[in-house]
Amino acid sequence: MVALCGGTLNGLSFFPFLSDPARRSTFCLKLALVMTHLTFVGVLFGFDKELIHKTIQDLWYTTVYLLLLVATLAQYFITSGSSPGYVLDAMRAINEIDASRNRASSTKDQPASSKNSSVVITIDRNQLEKSLLGSGTTSWAKLVMDMYSPGTSVRSVNCTYCNIMQPPRAKHCYDCDKCVLQFDHHCVWLGTCIGKGNHCRFWWSYAIVILLLAVLSICLFFLLLLLLFHSYLILTNQTTYELLRRRRIPYLRNTPERVFPFSKGVCRNSYEFCCARSSMYRMEPLPTAQELEEKSRPYTCSDILSCRCCC
C-alpha cells in the first residue's frame, strides 16, 4: 500500500496538473472521448474487412478522414485549454493598465537631476494582486458602473461568491467557481466554460466534428443500404445476379414484373434462410406456369387478411 501511494504521489509530482481533482477529471474525460472514437473506428474496420481495402484504394477518403481527425483533436484540446474570459482576469488587466499609467505619469512629473537619471521600479506581484482585489479597484468599478444605467446599485452587480463587480452578460459559474464574461454555458465535454474568450473556438470545434461525422456517415450509410439491399433479397428469395440481370437470364426473361419465381413468402423465405438446415447441394426447380400465374395475381382484401404475402 505504501509503495502504491508512493507511486501515485511520484506520478502526481511528475504530472503537476493531475494533483488538482478538477483538472484530473477533465483530463480523464478527454482521454475517454479520444479512446471512444478510436475504439469505434477499430470496431468499424474490424467488422468490415472490405473497408480496409477500399480505404487503401481510395487514398483521398483516408486522407480527408485523417486530416479531419487531427483537426478535431487539435481544436478540441485547444478549446478545452483556452480561457473563456474570466471577470477576475479582465479586472486585473484593467487595473494593471491604470496602475502603469499612474506610475508613468508620476515618473514623468519627477524633476530631472543627476541623482534620479536612472530610476528602477520594483513591484511585488503579491502586493499588486492584493491592491487590485482590494482598494485599487476604482478603475474597474468605474468602468463597470458606466456600462449600467444610472441609478444601478453596486450591490446588484456584485458577485456574492467572487466578491467582484460583474459587467453586463457576465455570470458566476458554479463548476469553475469563477465569473465568466458573456457566459454561455459550462460544457461538460470540454471541462470548461464557454464565454467571450472561446465561443468562436467552441463553434469551430462543433463544425469540424460534424464534418468528421459526415465522412464517417458516408461509410455507415453505404453499409446500411447494403444491409437493407441484402435483406430485401432474402425476403424475396433472390440473388443479386437475378435482380440485376433479370432480362438477360433465359428462365427469368418471360417472368412478369414484380414476380419472384422462387419466393415462398416472406416468413418461409426468412425461415429457410436463417433456420432451415438444408443441404448446400439442394437445388430449387423452376416454378410451373400455373404457379407463376398464381404469383402474378393481384392482391385482394382477402389475400391480405390471409397473409398471402407471408406464406
Residues identified as active-site? 187
Distance CA 97, CA 299 (A): 85
Contact status, residue 55 vs residue 61, Cβ threshold 8 Å: yes
Bridge partner residues of 287 (DSSP): none
116-127 burial by CB neighbour count: b if 16+ within 10 A, else e?
eeeeeeeeeeee
Cβ–Cβ under 8 Å, residues 176 and 159? no
The set of long-range contacts for 151-155, using a CB threshold of 8 Å and a minimum separation of 24, is none
Contact between residue 181 and residue 195 where contact means Cβ atoms under 8 Å apart? yes
Torsional class of 173: left (φ above 0), alpha (ψ -120 to 50), beta (otherwise): beta
Residue 216's closest CA among 16, 30, 10, 45?
45
**Grid cell digits, residue 301:** 382484401
The SS3 assignment for 187 reads: strand
Residue with cell 480527408: 64
DSSP one-letter string for 72-138 = HHHHHHHHHHS---BHHHHHHHHHHHHHHHHHHHHHHHSPP-STTSS------HHHHHHHHHTTT-H
Contact 182, 85 (CB under 8 A): yes
Output Rg (C-alpha) for the chain, integer angstroms: 36
